[in-house]
A and B are shown apart, each in its own frame.
Chain A
Amino acid sequence: MRLDEDVLDDLSLGSVFLATGGGGDPYVSLLATRQVLHANGPAEMIPVDELDDDAYVVTIGAVGAPSVSLELLPSVHDAEKALRAYEEHVGRSVDAVVSFEVGGGNSLIPIAAASACGIPVIDGDGMARALPEAQMMTYPISGISPTPALALDYAGNVMTFASETAEAYEHEIRAAAEAMGGMITAVEHPMSGAELKTSVMRGTISFSIELGQLLRERRGNAERLLAPLTDLFADSLYGQIFPLYTGKVVDYSSSVVAGFDQGQARLEPFDQDGPAMTIDIRNEFLVARMGGEVVASVPDLITMLDLETGTPINAERLRYGQRVAVYGVGCPEFYRQPKALAVVEPRCFGFDIDFVPIEDLRPGWLQR
């Protein structure tokens, strides 16, 4: 599949949905990627199964505070420069690139790298959503080392990493982002085509494009999106989609705790009765409760749409008084394995609850 400038808007829109509140506004990454495709031509996106088992693949994307990119704009050559610097660092050429996460700008940056370097980008990613930390990606969960890794800053400065564990790497890259202007381009997780095939979330980029196309073509009341979204998700690696709530934001507070935007949104229904919903946020929407009972939790997806337009909302754009529809989506089976839940279950984010799949939580509150 050839990715040209025309698909980028839909991919961005779909990625904000799958980012579950996190990942930041992809607008500046969209502009930069569009410029790269305009100059170098479309990127070639291939299914992972078309990749040779001995191909050399790396992940590429941005790490840092998305709000910083509002002022510290990315350069159109960042992805290409980072990849070239990486090749020099490891002393070999890269055969294909793949995304960290199909959320925010990080679904776009690998496409820019692929177009600029003339190599394919894989139709897939390492989260099938957005999650905040490196060790939460399917690659390290599948036993792939994040290093050797490299970070490039706005000025072209390079820092390299040889961390032992994914957790150590997460600490180091986060500190590097802060020291290097707040936002960096990272190249990491070198792996073989065979390794990628065991770890990647397949088809998520083309799925995000389809999702964005649906949201664009059916722009309007978010509740009316249920039927087409149900059809779309039925045919995907995700589980079922559930309408969780329709209401307005009556309270939203957040503060930074240990580098994370941590807070809670409280929603109330439009009519007088009915239980309130609370959504706990740590960059992403992580736990949704209705009348105090959990109705969805990470790693299942919780996403909020602007009620009147159906536009997915970033957590940082959430605002008091906003009218929203909340949807929950079952995460891919990969994240329900014990080894994945060990790093992404609610306890990993400080919530003292067990993960229960959304489809098992659903009947309990539906009966009320």
Chain B
Amino acid sequence: MLRIGIDVGGTHTDAVLLDGDRVLAETKALTSADVLFGILEALEAVLAGRPNIENEVEAVMLGTTQFTNAVVERRELAEVAAIRIGEPSGHGLVPKIGWPADIAACLGNESYAIGGGHLYDGSLLAELNDAEIDAVIADLRLKQVNAVSVSAAFSPADPSHEIAVGERVATALPNARVTLSHTLGRLGILERENAALLNTSLLDFADRVVSSFVDAVRQRGLTCRFFVSQNDGTLMDADFARQFPALTFASGPTNSLRGACKLSGLDDAVVIDIGGTTSDIGVLQNGFPRESNLVIEVGGVRTNFRMPDLLALGLGGGSLVEDKGATVGPLSVGHRLVSEGLVFGGKTLTATDVVVAAGAAQIGDVDAVSDLDPTTVKTARARIVEMLNQGVEKMKPSSDPLPVILVGGGSVLVTEKLVAASEMLRPEHAGVANAIGAAIAQIGGETERFVSYDATPRTEAISAATAEATEVAVTAGADRSTIRVADIEEIAMSYMAGNTTRLRVKVVGEIAGLVGSNRAPR
């Protein structure tokens, strides 16, 4: 089965053509202002010289930072009204509270707090009140609002109130775009509501972006299925991506780590991605990135998305070498390395220059660094190794050495084995690990709820949650026979009796065969 993975980053657009695990072609180009054109070019580059191959391509997977960038840059954001179902709790804590003023202004001031929602034990927080819902709908109609987010207390455990209000809104305002917060998972109503608001705000833009992606794929003569990668390393189809653009937030680092996993064949390893300015060190566990537990802000807004746990070191190919080699970075010439580095005819001593001077790499004009002070070269190289070693030591799960996978253009800086590494791998095609990560992504499903292990035995609760997550994944297009549990998270509820635990189960599976529909769940 042939697959194409495309990664549209802020700087580069990468693409790969995969036959199973084998990379048949790869390309890396600067991201064009016209994204559609850039994708067409990338597709052309990997398909060129392979006549009639279009019919053999079974899927195109795309990773994109477009939606993250829209939020960060405060553009393409539509106004959204928020309906919060949770009164009398949370009275006075209105939606969008705590947001930076500029992005709050983009989404406007309309918000409604109505009675309803559930408690931690599944009982009612309050009944839904028809008159209240009618009043909200009348006001939405009066103000001609056409984008709405709906959030309810404990909706990940019981979404019925969100669904009921969402249906009422959809019936009354058939053209309105609606996001129900429970579809974005995870407990934490403020963060989940923020995610739902941002998602709704991006829906029009998502329509345009996804349409142009699909157009690019179809224009190139590909009739296969099309997927977009999510922040957890799994995929959504085009229709789902139109509804859930926010799920692409932070998918870039995840794809990079997943690609490194595929390229090296290792499920447990440390991955160092060395660029021009920084080295990002991440950890693979069971083939997936270890996640950070810090609150993730997107464009200054708190969300409940998870990000890979990354340690960023100020060390890259363009890092400035100073103090006779004792200091390398964090200052860097960045992408101007190709004009400012000594080996490229520039005047700035960079990390790349010292590696070339030591004869450990052949880049640019080797003669330009032939008269560098050997002590400076030696000191700087030792410093580079020391910085990376310390970084790997910090990120490794234990003190046992672990394989280290080097990816990224700056990986030429590393010329010897790090003490912290059991072995060093530089897989081929590491420069396009992001696109490979997108191409190999699987379909996932997740459930999260509060359970009392006194009422339901633990094994029973986990298998019930797993069964439910499996259904979510199958509905999203996963092949049931390949589904496995990727993660089980249990968080005990402190200061409360009754053995209450927050249980989250995530499953992943391969994409089901081409036959049959692949509609979005929910």
Contacts and interface: CB of A to CB of B under 8 A. Distances in A.
Interface of A: 22, 24, 27-28, 31-32, 35, 63-68, 70-77, 132, 154-156, 174-175, 177-178, 181-182, 248, 250, 254-256, 258-263, 268-272, 283, 306-308, 311, 315-323
Interface stretch (B90-98, B209-217, B248-256): B90-98
A182 B494 CA distance: 10
B494 A66 contact: yes
Contacts of A64: 495-496
B235 interface: no
Interface in B77-96: 86, 88-93
A126 to B, nearest CB: 17
Nearest to A182: B120
B491 interface: yes
Nearest to B292: A319
B32 to A, nearest CB: 36
A261 B125 contact: no
A283 B494 contact: yes
10 contacts: A27-B190, A70-B189, A73-B86, A73-B89, A178-B497, A250-B397, A256-B492, A258-B497, A261-B495, A316-B491
B70 interface: no
Contacts of B91: 75-77
B498 A178 contact: yes
B517 interface: no
B93 A75 contact: yes
Nearest to A181: B119
B120 A321 contact: no
B125 A72 contact: yes
Interface residues on B, range: 35 or more
Interface in B470-499: 491-499
A368 B471 CA distance: 56
Given A64-B495, A70-B189, A259-B495, A321 B89 contact: no
Contacts of A22: 494
A261 B154 contact: no
Nearest to A251: B398
A154 B88 contact: yes
Contacts of A67: 187, 491, 493-494, 502
Interface of B: 86, 88-93, 97-98, 117, 119-121, 125-126, 153-154, 187-190, 283, 290, 293-294, 309, 311, 390, 393-399, 453, 491-502
Nearest to B458: A255
Contacts of B294: 306, 311, 317
A283 B493 CA distance: 9
B contact face: mostly helix, strand, loop, or mixed: loop
Given A31-B97, A35-B97, A74-B93, 11 more contacts: A64-B496, A65-B120, A67-B494, A71-B117, A71-B187, A181-B125, A248-B396, A262-B492, A271-B393, A320-B397, A322-B309
Contacts of B501: 256
Given A319-B293, A321-B290, A72 B494 contact: no
B496 A65 contact: yes
A178 B499 CA distance: 12
A317 B501 CA distance: 15
Given A67-B502, A73-B90, A75-B88, A259 B496 contact: yes
Contacts of B86: 71-73
A233 to B, nearest CB: 26
Contact of B395 (A68, A76, A271, A321): A321
Most buried by A among B188, B397, B493: B493
A254 B397 contact: no
Given A70-B189, A321-B283, A76 B93 contact: yes
A68 B398 contact: no
B21 to A, nearest CB: 28
A169 B98 CA distance: 36
Given A181-B120, A321-B283, A71 B494 contact: no
B93 A31 contact: yes
Nearest to A250: B398
A72 to B, nearest CB: 5
Contacts of A66: 494-495
Contacts of A255: 492
A322 B120 contact: no
B394 A248 contact: yes
A132 B495 CA distance: 7
A280 to B, nearest CB: 14
Contacts of B395: 321, 323
Given A75-B88, A308-B311, A261 B493 contact: yes
Contacts of A35: 92-93, 97
A156 B117 CA distance: 16
B458 to A, nearest CB: 10
A261 B494 contact: yes
Contacts of B398: 250, 268
